[in-house]
């Protein structure tokens, strides 16, 4: 098996049964430059970046001696900025889905509106995973991180309550109430989260720039 790190072929004899061994096994860490993390993965010329977020899928992805793996790395600041940018992009798309949902419901197309909205709701899992990874990486407690006089954890709690109300209206099939919750509670909450992420990005880059002087 050939393993390339940032375009350089690793001279060590390397073998792995699955991509899980590559991503989560201890041996790969010795090949990654200090202070760097994996940015992208290509296997036989095809990108498989999603394997980095799905342990079960990486376990199922078996490798052979003829496979060629190319790993690109990035520094920690790039990782944080990339994660925050991905979260901001998702929230913008989610907000568009929220607007579309309320429009369809108010125009009497409730079933289609909620069906489309459900697809966006499932994406919140990825958003939460990103936020958890940022918390672990920066070693911060969202209870102690404050935005606009309120802890970030409180905003998480607000989001959970809103989503609980959304699911409740789905069970009751009260689509008029659903449209109201989405428009007047969820949408403003998403706007707040967008600002929280932008604020975090500004602070992280500000600290990095100060340390680099």
Whole-number Å distance between alpha carbons of 206 and 148: 18
Dump pLDDT digits (tens) for 21-64.
877 765 677 778 777 878 889 999 999 888 877 778 888 988 88
- Supply the pLDDT for residue 15: 67
Burial status of residue 3 (CB atoms within 10 A of its CB: 0-12, 13-18, 19 or more): buried
Helices of type H across the chain: 19-24, 55-60, 76-106, 110-122, 124-138, 152-172, 175-181, 187-212
Whole-number Å distance between alpha carbons of 135 and 172: 36
- Supply the pLDDT for residue 196: 93
Whole-number Å distance between alpha carbons of 145 and 180: 30
Burial status of residue 67 (CB atoms within 10 A of its CB: 0-12, 13-18, 19 or more): middle
Percentage of the chain beyond pLDDT 70 is: 90
Query: Which residues of the chain are modeled with pLDDT < 70?
Result: 13-16, 25-27, 112-114, 116, 207-213
Which residue in 84, 52, 62 sits closest to 15, CA to CA? Answer: 62
């Amino acid at each position: 098996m050939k393993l390339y790190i940032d375009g350089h072929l690793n001279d060590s004899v390397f073998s792995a049964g699955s991509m899980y061994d590559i991503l989560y096994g201890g041996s790969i860490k010795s090949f990654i430059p200090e202070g760097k993390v994996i940015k992208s993965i290509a296997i036989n010329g095809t990108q498989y970046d999603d394997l980095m977020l799905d342990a079960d899928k990486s376990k199922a992805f078996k490798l052979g001696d003829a496979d060629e793996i190319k790993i690109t790395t990035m520094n920690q600041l790039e990782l944080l900025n990339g994660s925050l940018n991905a979260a901001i992009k998702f929230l913008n798309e989610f907000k568009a889905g929220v607007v579309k949902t309320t429009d369809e419901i108010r125009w009497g197309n409730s079933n289609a509106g909620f069906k489309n909205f459900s697809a966006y709701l499932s994406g919140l899992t990825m958003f939460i995973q990103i936020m958890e990874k940022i918390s672990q990486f920066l070693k911060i407690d969202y209870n102690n991180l404050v935005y606009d006089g309120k802890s970030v954890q409180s905003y998480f709690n607000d989001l959970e309550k809103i989503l609980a109300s959304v699911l409740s209206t789905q069970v009751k099939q009260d689509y008029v109430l659903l449209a109201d919750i989405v428009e007047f509670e969820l949408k403003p909450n998403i706007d707040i989260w967008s600002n929280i992420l932008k604020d975090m990005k500004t602070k992280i880059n500000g600290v990095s720039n100060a340390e680099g002087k």
